[in-house]
Each structure stands twice: as structure tokens, then as C-alpha cells.
């Protein structure tokens, strides 16, 4: 009994010590905490607060009855989604588009950052950086307008195709070309912006390593293989884990602006189905069930990728 009381007293003392330390730190850095407050409130109000609404995935939600008065139906909407003809289509398209973006899109910012790092002219380097960032800041609506103009029957791409003896056609009306157009334009739009973190990682590599390699007679190629790539490998691994965690997510805005019923077979993804079911058809419970399923799979993917990375190379998010 005495040992239990002592252990309890030690626990209470630790809690009091932690509380005093936290209070002391708060008063010492109160202005930093005040600066942090808007960000914390933003996440509480717009990210954690609305999470209670996920309950409607298990109910037949009725706007007049509200969240808690609507009829409980359990996994009915999940079963409807799994048994619908939408399921295999949107799952296949979502996974394939993300795989293509990882295979073709993920390495490009890394290669671009390394090549940019090799430029000796600061003016040229800054110019190339600025030009590569610009597409990221262009509105999705404008980007899609450019894509539509370029791929229409009399557009620039068809003129090039015609120049080489090909047949003109509205490329966005070709279901087999949609994923290629979507992925390639995504890469063009974002590779410059995504390269920023790798450029920052490159600046942290010790320059003495390059100097030592030069003295040993190593050329640029060997320096890149044995110094540059290993130096930014932890950053690459972390970014890959985060990218795998978004394996089931694709922004619906660009796809909605580009696809049409003819290309649904290769263009329809989970986010566009949620948009159509939730906002257009007012089927809130069904769309919430799809979104919840998507979030759970993404969570499992990022946890699995993090664990595998930690086992293989001891680099992980946590």
C-alpha cells in the first residue's frame, strides 16, 4: 500500500512539474503562442470541428432532422458503394492516375533541382526557377482553358499532329488519352513548385564534401551519385511517404473541368464521384461514406509507407 501511495505521489509530482514547466514556457514565449493561436483555431474550426459530420455516413441523413435525429443505417451506404458499378471504375482510375504521377511526376522535381544546382550563373538560375514556378500560380480554370484550346480539333497539338501526317481529333474526347493529358499537364504545372524543397535540401549539403571529391578527381556525375543524392535522400523519402499517403486522393476541380460523359470510363475518380453524389444529387450520406472510405485508406497507406521506410533505411515521419 505504501509503495502504491509513493508511486501515486510521484505521478502527481511529475504532472505538477510538467504543468509548472508549461506555464513558465507560456509566459516566457507568450508572443509566439499568440502568433500560433490563429493557426490552431483554423485547424480546430475547419479541420477537427467538422469531423463529427462524418457520422452521417452511417445514417440516412435528412437536412430537416439534422445529424443526430436522422435514421441510423449502419454500413448501408458503404455496401451500396462497394456493390455499385462506380466502385471498380473510380478505384481503378484513382489508383492508376496516382501511380502514373508517382512514376513520372515524382522524380522530375528532384532531377530539376539537381540540374538547377549545377548551374553556375546566378542570373540564369533565378530566371529558370521563376519561369518554372509560374504555372503553379495560374488558376486551375485558366490552366484547363489552355488545355482545352490546345487539345481541340484545330488546336496547337492537333496542328503538330497534322504536320507529321496524323489525323486531327478532339483529344479530350478520347478516353484513352485522358490520363496522359491529365498527368502530363499536372507535371508541367507543379514540378517547379515541388522542386523548392529539394533545392532547400541541396543547400544543406556540406560544400567541403564537393571540394574533397574534386581533389580526389571525381567529376560532376560521381559527385551527384555519391554526394548530392545521398545528401537529399532523407528529404526524398519523407516526400515519397507523404505522396503515398495521398494515393487515393486527386483534386476534383481540374478533372471536372476537363472530363465529360464520354471519358468517364478513364477519368472518373473518387473525388469527382463524391462531388456528383454530394453536391449535384444531394446524396449526402452516400458521398460522406465514400469520402470516409477514402480517408481511411489514405491513413493506412501513409502509416504502412512510414513503417516500411523506417525498417529499410531508418528514415521516417515519426
The whole-angstrom separation of Cα 210 and Cα 227 is 7
What beta strand segments (E) does 47-98 contain?
59-62, 70-72
SS3 content of the chain, % helix, strand, coil (to 5): 80, 0, 15
pLDDT recorded at residue 214: 85
Of the chain, the end-to-end C-alpha distance in Å amounts to 39
Ramachandran angles phi, psi of 204, nearest 5°: -85, -5
pLDDT recorded at residue 259: 87
Q: What grid cell was written down for 183? A: 498527368
Q: What angle do CA 224, 240, 296 make, to 5 degrees?
A: 175
pLDDT recorded at residue 185: 93
Cβ 89 vs Cβ 272: under 8 Å: no
Element (H, E) at 309: helix 284-313
Looking at the whole model, is its pTM more than 0.85? no
The whole-angstrom separation of Cα 77 and Cα 288 is 9
Q: Got the DSSP string for 172-234?
A: GG-GGGHHHHHHHHHHHHHHHHHTHHHHHHHHTS-HHHHHHHHHTT--HHHHIIIIIHHHHHH
Complete domains list, the chain, with CATH: 2-62 (no CATH), 76-313 (1.10.3720.10)
The whole-angstrom separation of Cα 239 and Cα 233 is 10
Tens digit of each residue's pLDDT, the chain (318 residues): 545 455 444 554 455 566 678 788 888 888 888 888 898 999 888 888 878 888 888 988 888 888 778 888 888 989 999 998 889 999 999 999 999 999 999 999 999 999 988 888 888 888 998 899 889 998 899 999 999 999 888 888 888 888 888 888 888 888 899 999 999 999 999 999 999 999 989 988 888 888 888 888 888 888 888 888 888 988 898 888 888 888 888 878 899 989 888 888 999 999 888 888 888 888 888 888 988 888 888 888 888 888 887 777 777 667
Residue in the block written with cell 502514373: 100
Q: What angle do CA 151, 153, 154 make, to 5 degrees?
A: 95
Amino acid at each position: 500500500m505504501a509503495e502504491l501511495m509513493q508511486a501515486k505521489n510521484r505521478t502527481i509530482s511529475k504532472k505538477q512539474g510538467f504543468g509548472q514547466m508549461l506555464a513558465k514556457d507560456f509566459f516566457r514565449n507568450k508572443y509566439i503562442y499568440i502568433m500560433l493561436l490563429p493557426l490552431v483555431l483554423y485547424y480546430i474550426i475547419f479541420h477537427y470541428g467538422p469531423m463529427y459530420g462524418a457520422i452521417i455516413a452511417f445514417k440516412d441523413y435528412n437536412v430537416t432532422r439534422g445529424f443526430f435525429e436522422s435514421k441510423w443505417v449502419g454500413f448501408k451506404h458503404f455496401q451500396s458503394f462497394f456493390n455499385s458499378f462506380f466502385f471498380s471504375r473510380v478505384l481503378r482510375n484513382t489508383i492508376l492516375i496516382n501511380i502514373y504521377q508517382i512514376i513520372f511526376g515524382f522524380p522530375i522535381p528532384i532531377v530539376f533541382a539537381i540540374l538547377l544546382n549545377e548551374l553556375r550563373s546566378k542570373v540564369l538560375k533565378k530566371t529558370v526557377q521563376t519561369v518554372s514556378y509560374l504555372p503553379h500560380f495560374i488558376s486551375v480554370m485558366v490552366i484547363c482553358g489552355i488545355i482545352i484550346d490546345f487539345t481541340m480539333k484545330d488546336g496547337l497539338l492537333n496542328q503538330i499532329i497534322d504536320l507529321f501526317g496524323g489525323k486531327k481529333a478532339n483529344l479530350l474526347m478520347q478516353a484513352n488519352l485522358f490520363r496522359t493529358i491529365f498527368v502530363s499537364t499536372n507535371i508541367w504545372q507543379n514540378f517547379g513548385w515541388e522542386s523548392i524543397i529539394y533545392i532547400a535540401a541541396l543547400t544543406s549539403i556540406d560544400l567541403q564534401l564537393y571540394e574533397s571529391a574534386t581533389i580526389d578527381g571525381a567529376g560532376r556525375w560521381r559527385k551527384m551519385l555519391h554526394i548530392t543524392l545521398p545528401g537529399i535522400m532523407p528529404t526524398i523519402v519523407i516526400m515519397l511517404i507523404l505522396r503515398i499517403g495521398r494515393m487515393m486522393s486527386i483534386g476534383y476541380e481540374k478533372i471536372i473541368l476537363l472530363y465529360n460523359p464520354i471519358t468517364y470510363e478513364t477519368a472518373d475518380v473518387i473525388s469527382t464521384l463524391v462531388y456528383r453524389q454530394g453536391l449535384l444529387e444531394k446524396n449526402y450520406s452516400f458521398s460522406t461514406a465514400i469520402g470516409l472510405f477514402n480517408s481511411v485508406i489514405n491513413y493506412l497507406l501513409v502509416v504502412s509507407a512510414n513503417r516500411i521506410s523506417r525498417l529499410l533505411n531508418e528514415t521516417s515521419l515519426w
